[in-house]
Structure 1
Amino acid sequence: PQDMKDTLPYLLGAIKEDRLKNENELTIKKRELNKLKKGLQEAKLINGNNFNKAHMLLTQAQDIGLINSNITGLNSLQDYSDALKSVLKWNPKQMDFPNYSYIDSITLKIDSLKKEKRQIDEQITSTMNFLRVRNDYKDEIDIQVNRLESIGLYNKLTYKEFNLGETNAKLSSFIPFKEQIQDSLLKLNGELKDVERETPKLLKYIEELKLKSEKIVEEIELCEREIDALYQQEEIANRYKELNTRVGIVIGKIMLWLESIEDVKFDSDLEYKIKQSEREVNNLENLLVQENVEDNMTSILNRIGTTMTLWAQKLELEHSNNPIRFDFKNLTIVSDSTNKPIPLEKMGGGANWVGFHLVVYFALHKHFVENNCPIPRFIFFDQPSQAYFPEELKSKIEISDNMLKDEEREAINKLYEFIFDVVEELKGSIQVIITDHAMLNNHRFKESLKEIWRKGEIHEALIPKEWYE
């Protein structure tokens, strides 16, 4: 829809043929004028008494050591130019970066040492846990030995010396012999000595592991200090690199400024060019202002609306008793009633809509023909009479007069009579091509019929049958 709104004023003739050319030329001229004004502004800034830009570049060059900070007494453009040209001889300082493959090897060594330390720490933890269990076991043995030694005070008694009686005879199986108690005591004493003998060895082993772990820590710290030193070297190299980058940026600005000076020197007639360009822009603007597109569109659409109203009344369309117009803003047809405008979508049914579409198409093409607008002189309509057919006939390939009611036949005849009248009114300046199912028993209809594809010699439709079979 927006494309239609953009192009229709030109197609209707509201915009003259050379307006688009003038608008495009005005855009180009304005762009050129702005460029000239910007160039003049820069020229005044450079060639005038204000050397802010040159002084700023000089200060930046001095801050990073490109130019001696003691340079003073620069009073002319040439003085600044000579001073700034000296930086073009600058060469960047090179600084070696550390060997990253060596850093990687040290990093791998640190990882290996840390892994070894974790394994040693795990051994220390396991040994200490084992030692703690042995100590707990030793404590338990001490308790058992104390108990057995207390029982050993009655070493003269055996279970046979107890008079149990018949009822308690079964208890005899639970009372140990003295020899069994003594054997248990000897066994526990042996285990106790084993524990006491192994403990110093375990403690010594733990100390050895701790010393080994500490040595690994020292070695890791040594490697890390070496990496830190290499990274410090990298930081210094990066500083040189950053400085070189800053210097490169400043030199680029200075080179651009020096080039701009040369451009201005060779273009001394900027003010004359600006005045000439301003005259060209003003002439084009005045030319375009004189051509009021909106007023032209209003006038054209009013004339088209008059034609639409006349033809809508001829077709006896609903709401045609009101002025009919083409609403360019919303791209629809409107009937201006006394109370409010009525858009096409609220004006009757399908047959009425077909009628209004024919009216607006022919009214537009009448204007195109009469004003020699750049539009092809033909219209193609497909089945304009279909809206008048009853539902039971819409699927028929051919619909003749005798299949229709009187009011249906009359409406379709009126539709085609309107089309014939408009074509004759325009004296053959427009060609109308229609494909339809209707077959009217009407002299003008039969005379205009070019081909009956169902009965003609070629006996095929617009799309040949073999294309889809």
Structure 2
Amino acid sequence: MRRWNLRKIILYSHDDRRRDVDLDLESVNIITGKSHTGKSALVEIINYVMGASECHIPSFVRDATSWTGLLWVRDETQFLVCRKTPTGARKADNSAYFDVGSELEIPAGQSGLYRKADIDTALHQFERLLGIPEVEVDPYSPARPKEPITVRHVMPYLLQDDSTIIDKGKLFWSSDEQDEKRVAIINRLPFFLGVYDPATIELEGELRRLRRDLAIREKQALEAQQIAGREVSRAQALLAEAQTVGLIEASQAETDLAGIIGLLRAANTWESTEPSDRGEGQNSNLSTLYDRKFELETQASELRSRLNSAEQLGSIRQRFGENAISQRNRLAAVEIVPTQASLVACPTCAQPLERVSESVQSVRKVYERVQRELGDVERQRPLVARASEEVREQLSAVRLELERTKQQIRAIVQEDEQARQRLDLDQRRYRVIGRISLYLDTVADVEVTTNQDEEVAGLRSRVAELEEQLSSQTKAELLQEKRLLISGIATEILQHLPFDERYRGGSVDFNPKDLSVGVITSKRRESMRNIGSDENYLSLHLSVMLALHRLFTDLESPVPGLLVLDQLSRPYFPEDTEEVEVISQDRVSLKRYFDLLFSEVAEQESLQILVLEHAYFTDDEAFKNATKERWIEGRPFLVPADWPDEPVS
């Protein structure tokens, strides 16, 4: 078998029973019966188990089942997938049970089922078996991310329910539920038609990434060039500042941004060579010298006070001596009076006096005192002079030592000033280095280098190569070839089906770009809607679907070989008609559809068709042999009548 077929449709009751609908592989399978027996429920069961987001199984079937499942087969490989039926108001239940093997043992009841995975994980295993690659296609909305190809994208080619099969506006089941679903079919159909393979999809992904990277690189390069032009002046200003503080030699000069940045990076590595403890010894010595200076200045002040006192004393004694000499000179007249003369006679004329002269005696005493004081002054003068001289010598020595101390202080202060200037220069250098470092951090991303240019050139070359290899024109040409091929096969198939004679000479035209179907006549292209008639709609649907499956088989496309057709007799019988034996004039027309199905299955390898039908041909052996079940009075329907409608406690 080249394609997967469906072996069983399985239903599990709440009381641990199982109901199988068995199907023949690579054959036409027919299930007939009256309305409300569960025929159309089979379409919804297949859809639900295959990952539908909501369960639309009719309530009388859903209430009576706990799980539903499908058994897929290809050669010796089997894949069983079962999904739990939602209860209450829930729209779906994602609990899934699956198994893969050659001879699977299907659980006999719901007690043998459990949540082995969620339904998406379970179906992902089937996608691998089908051969669906893990690739993504372009999003059908620019605002949404790319999406992978999944088994959900093959469902439109498998199911034609009773409303779709004669729909005049749409070809595929569920394609008009939401516009995004329709666009999703359009985007992924080229893959299933072989317009591009997984390798091509990977190359397209690479092309998208490279285009994005190239746009980013080109934008960065342009911005870098623009910013570089504005940054040259800033860089030159920093270069001049670095030269001013000696970080860069004045002879070094650059005009382009890259060269200037190179010099700034070199300057950014500068480190001071001055010891960190420089000046500590000088500071300690300077403190000692200041203490000594203060001590000497104190001594000098005291000596100056002593010298001033001595000089003042000498001056006083000198003035005293001068006054004493003057006084002595004035009293010198006393010397003319004899010393031993009687004090009762006049000292000048020697005439006897009537009484003793006290004044003469007083004068003499004063004179004698002055004489003594003058003697004392003369004796003390050398002593005062020597004391003053000693103080002067001490003061001179102190002043000399004080001057030497001040000179030492000035020398240290001058040396410390030079050190401070060196420290100030280092600080200025560090400030400049800080600005250079900040600048280099901000300008690093906009440097235009040869490597960047080479990278952009390499990206452009690869993008051009992939664009030529994956040109839209090439894909459009391939898609057009598939369009013509499908349309040609559908036209050939349509010749075997009932169709309006006014259009029978025309060619079927299926457009994969918008999923439209029409007939090209000698006048124009008539859309399916404009052709009219449920019979015409049915014939166009069936011819295109069978044409697609022929191509899927030839291409070994990862689409299962199953086609489910619900109510081929819709154009001839009302929807609610009981099962009838076809004996009317429509018998011939309806039989042509079944004859085509039998013929198509016989010719196509691995094609399996399931027809859900009201009509029944009692005189057609092929039809009767293909009928797997008849749900009529006296026979069981899809759900046995004794199944409980809710879980058994």
Residue-by-residue CA offset, 1:195-226 (whole Å, 9 max, x unaligned): xxxxxxxxxxxxxxxxxxxxxxxxxxxxxxxx
Q: What residue in structure 1 maps to residue 560 of structure 2?
A: 376
C-alpha separation in 2, matches of 1:316 and 1:20: 40
- Per the alignment, do residues 45 and 330 of structure 1 end up closer, same or farther by CA in structure 2, a change over 3 Å counting? closer
Q: Are 1:22 and 2:203 matched, yes or no?
A: yes
1:343 corresponding residue in structure 2: 527
**Does the aligned pair in 2 maintain the 1:309–1:320 contact within 8 Å?**
no
The residue aligned with 2:64 is none
1:112-191 aligned at under 5 Å gives the runs none
> Secondary structure of 2:599's partner?
helix
TM-superposed deviation, 1:327: 2.9
Structure 2 distance, partners of 1:289, 1:302, is 20
Shift of 1:416: 0.8
1:434 maps onto 2:616 in alignment: no
Match among 540, 563, 567 for residue 356 of structure 1: 540
- Structure 2 counterpart SS, 1:432: strand
Query: Percent of counterpart pairs with the same letter?
Result: 22
Provide TM-score, normalisation by structure 2. Answer: 0.39
Structure 2 letter corresponding to 1:366? R
Partner amino acid for 1:431? Q
Corresponding residue SS for 1:387: coil
Q: 1:357 to 1:81 in 2, by over 3 A?
A: same
Matches of 1:349 and 1:465, distance apart in 2: 42
283 and 258 in structure 1: CA distance in 2 versus 1, 3 angstrom threshold: same
Is 1:313 matched up with 2:491? no
Aligned to 2:621: 443
Instruction: Give 1:306 deviation, angstroms.
Output: 1.7
Alignment: residue pair count: 286
* CA 339–265 in structure 1, closer or farther in 2 if over 3 Å, else same: closer
Distance 1:256 1:268, change over 3 A: farther
Instruction: Give 3-state SS (helix, strand or coil) of 1:309's partner.
Output: helix
**Cross-structure match for 1:301:** 483
* Residue matched to 2:451: 269
The correspondence of residues 414-429 of structure 1 with structure 2, limited to 5 A, is 414-427=592-605, 429=606
User: Quick one: distance in 2 between partners of 1:53 and 1:266?
Assistant: 12
Is this contact kept in 1: 2:631–2:637, CA < 8 A? yes
Identify the residue that residue 12 of structure 2 maps to in structure 1. Answer: none
User: What residue number does 1:146 align with?
Assistant: none
Structure 1 pair 38/309, CA: closer, same or farther in 2 (3 Å)? Answer: closer
TM superposition shift of 1:44: 5.7
Q: Could you report, residue by residue, the CA deviation over 1:292-346 in whole angstroms, capped at 9, with x for unpaired residues?
A: 1111122222122122122212113112221122133442221111222211112
The match for 1:212 is none
- 3-state SS of 2:558 partner: coil
Larger radius of gyration: 2
Post-superposition shift, 1:378?
A: 0.9
Compared with structure 1, are the counterparts of its residues 286 and 395 closer, same or farther at alpha carbon in structure 2 (3 Å cutoff)? closer
SS at 2:571 equivalent: helix
SS in structure 1 opposite 2:628? coil
- Matches of 1:395 and 1:445, distance apart in 2: 22
Query: CA, structure 1 residues 53+332, in 2 after alignment: closer, same or farther (shift >3 Å)?
Result: same
C-alpha distance 263-352 of structure 1, shift in aligned 2 (>3 A) = closer
Q: CA deviation at 1:363?
A: 0.8
CA contact (8 A) 1:11 1:373 kept: yes
- Once the two structures are superposed, the pairs formed by residues 13-412 of structure 1 within 5 Å of their partners are 13-41=194-222, 52-53=230-231, 55=233, 76-77=260-261, 257-262=439-444, 269-289=451-471, 292-318=474-500, 319-389=503-573, 391=574, 394-401=575-582, 404-405=583-584, 407-412=585-590
The answer as to whether partners of 2:562 and 2:608 remain within 8 angstroms in 1 is yes
Cα offsets for 1:76-128 (capped at 9, x unmatched): 3367779999xxxxxxxxxxxxxxxxxxxxxxxxxxxxxxxxxxxxxxxxxxx
Secondary structure in 1 aligned to 2:586?
helix
What is the aligned partner in structure 1 of residue 162 from structure 2? none
Structure 1 position 452 matched with structure 2 position 630: yes
The change in CA–CA distance for 1:51 and 1:400 in structure 2 (over 3 A counts) is closer
Point out the more displaced range, 275-284 or 12-21.
Answer: 275-284
Q: Is the 8 A contact 1:22 1:284 kept in 2?
A: yes
Taking structure 1 as reference, are residues 335 and 265 closer, same or farther at Cα in structure 2, changes over 3 Å only? Answer: closer
CA distance in 1, matches of 2:578, 2:571: 15
Structure 2: runs of 5+ lacking an equivalent: 1-181, 255-259, 270-434
Letter in 1 for 2:532: G
Deviations 1:35-93 (A, max 9, x none): 444455566667xxx6622646999x9xxxxx99x99x9963367779999xxxxxxxx
Distance in 2 separating the partners of 1:467 and 1:437:
27
Q: Deviations over 1:345-393 (max 9, x none)?
A: 122311221121111110111111112122221111111112212x4xx
- 8 A Cα contact 2:207 2:467, kept in partner: yes
Q: What is the rounded CA distance, in whole Å, between the counterparts of 2:438 and 2:621 in structure 1?
A: 84
Q: Distance in 1 between matches of 2:229 and 2:492?
A: 76
CA contact (8 A) 2:496 2:592 kept: no
> Larger RCO: Structure 1 or Structure 2 (Cα < 8 Å, ≥ 6 residues apart)?
2
In structure 1, C-alpha distance between the alignment counterparts of 2:527 and 2:640, rounded to whole Å: 37
* 2:566–2:613 contact (8 Å) kept in structure 1: yes
Give the Cα separation in 1 of the matches to 2:480 and 2:184. 19
Cα distance in 2 for residues equivalent to 1:20 and 1:341: 33
Q: Which consecutive residues of structure 1, in runs of 5 or more, have no partner in the other structure? A: 62-66, 86-252
Q: Which amino acid aligns with 2:214?
A: L
The structure that is strand-richer by fraction is: 2
Equivalent position SS for 1:279: helix
Pair 1:377–1:257, CA change in 2 (3 A): farther
Corresponding position of 1:2: 183
SS state of the match for residue 459, structure 2?
helix
Question: Aligned pair in 2 of structure 1 residues 51, 417: CA closer, same or farther (>3 Å)?
Answer: closer
CA-CA distance at 1:288 after TM superposition? 1.2
How has the CA–CA distance of structure 1 residues 265 and 301 changed in structure 2, closer, same or farther, with 3 Å as cutoff?
A: closer
Root-mean-square deviation over aligned CA pairs: 4.0
